[in-house]
């Protein structure tokens, strides 16, 4: 489980619309927020940006199917001959009045997400059965969850009864000009390289005859830009940072590389 608490400088984030306003209004009104969008489109960066902007500690949990309620709430640990209670990230965020961000929340077990319900309605409470505590979330606490609706199946969807507890934002891959701006801000690359990488991403996202589980993300473009800025050949960088991250099939990889080669005139 990835878990981190942070108070940091405000990370770079290029707004797409009114998402910053929606986040701020949700936080001020003590409403939980759901962010849905494809992998690598900026959901996690956006939450980190907003937490730093608001000056709040951020606890990030990368959800998976082995995640238990105890992983979120906490558990008793034995050490030095005594049993000590250890808060989980959700409990810490509640105690500190921070943000708890559950990334890809639909990957967590259904019995785990049930612990979120009393925090995601007007009660804003967290019962801790093992200690007998009933924590009331302070005004600054916020629950944020995200998932990729395009990568769901019937067994891993968010129940309507859970989804309707949240204010929701829909994220997508940026328009060309905004995506180029993100590359300039994130990787400090040349404008021409940013334009070419964005062109490659748009071409790969519209391919109809290749079986790709995920589209080329903005995150992968940033990786490629960083490699090129450090002196790597652009075509080699695109293979390593983009193409090989999208597929394990050699034939599909070569088809994607044709797009890369054409973009760089090879």
Q: What is the pTM of this model?
A: 0.85
Strand partners, 100: 59, 143
Q: What is the pLDDT of residues 138-159, one digit of tens each?
A: 999 999 999 988 765 444 667 7
**pLDDT reading at 6 higher than 90:** no
How many angstroms separate the CA atoms of 78 and 98, rounded?
A: 27
Question: Is-contact 63 13, C-beta < 8 A?
Answer: no
Q: What is the pLDDT of residues 116-126, one digit of tens each?
A: 999 999 999 99
Question: Is-contact 165 121, C-beta < 8 A?
Answer: yes
How many angstroms separate the CA atoms of 2 and 40, rounded?
A: 17
What pLDDT shows up at residue 3? 47
| DSSP 8-state class, residue 116 | G
Strand partners, 145: 34, 102
Radius of gyration of the chain (CA): 21
Q: What is the pLDDT of residues 45-76, one digit of tens each?
A: 999 999 999 999 999 999 998 999 999 999 98
> Buried b / exposed e across 174-212, counting CB within 10 Å, b at 16+?
beeeebbbbbbebbebeeebbbbbbebbbbbeeeeeeee
In the chain, the percentage of residues whose pLDDT exceeds 70 is: 92
| DSSP 8-state class, residue 7 | -
Question: Is-contact 67 97, C-beta < 8 A?
Answer: no
Question: Is-contact 104 156, C-beta < 8 A?
Answer: no
């Amino acid at each position: 489980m990835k878990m981190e608490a942070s108070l940091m400088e405000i990370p770079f984030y290029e707004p797409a619309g009114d998402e910053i306003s929606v986040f701020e209004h949700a936080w001020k009104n003590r409403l939980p927020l759901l962010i849905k969008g494809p992998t690598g489109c900026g959901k996690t960066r956006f939450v980190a940006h907003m937490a730093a902007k608001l000056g709040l500690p951020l606890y990030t949990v990368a959800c998976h199917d082995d995640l238990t309620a105890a992983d979120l709430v906490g558990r008793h640990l034995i050490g030095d001959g005594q049993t000590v209670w250890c808060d989980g990230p959700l409990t810490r965020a509640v105690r500190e009045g921070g943000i708890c961000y559950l990334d890809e929340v639909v990957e967590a077990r259904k019995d785990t997400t049930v612990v979120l319900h009393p925090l995601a309605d007007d009660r804003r409470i967290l019962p801790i059965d093992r200690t007998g505590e009933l924590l009331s979330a302070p005004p600054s606490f916020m629950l944020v969850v995200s998932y990729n609706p395009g990568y769901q199946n019937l067994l891993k969807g968010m129940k309507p009864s859970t989804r309707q507890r949240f204010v929701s934002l829909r994220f997508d891959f940026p328009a060309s000009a905004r995506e180029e701006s993100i590359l300039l801000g994130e990787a400090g690359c040349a404008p021409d390289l940013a334009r070419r990488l964005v062109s490659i991403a748009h071409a790969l996202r519209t391919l109809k005859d290749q079986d790709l589980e995920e589209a080329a993300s903005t995150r992968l473009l940033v990786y490629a830009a960083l490699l090129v800025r450090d002196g790597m050949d652009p075509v080699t960088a695109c293979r390593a940072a983009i193409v090989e991250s999208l597929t394990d099939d050699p034939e599909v990889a070569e088809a994607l590389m044709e797009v890369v080669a054409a973009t760089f005139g090879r």
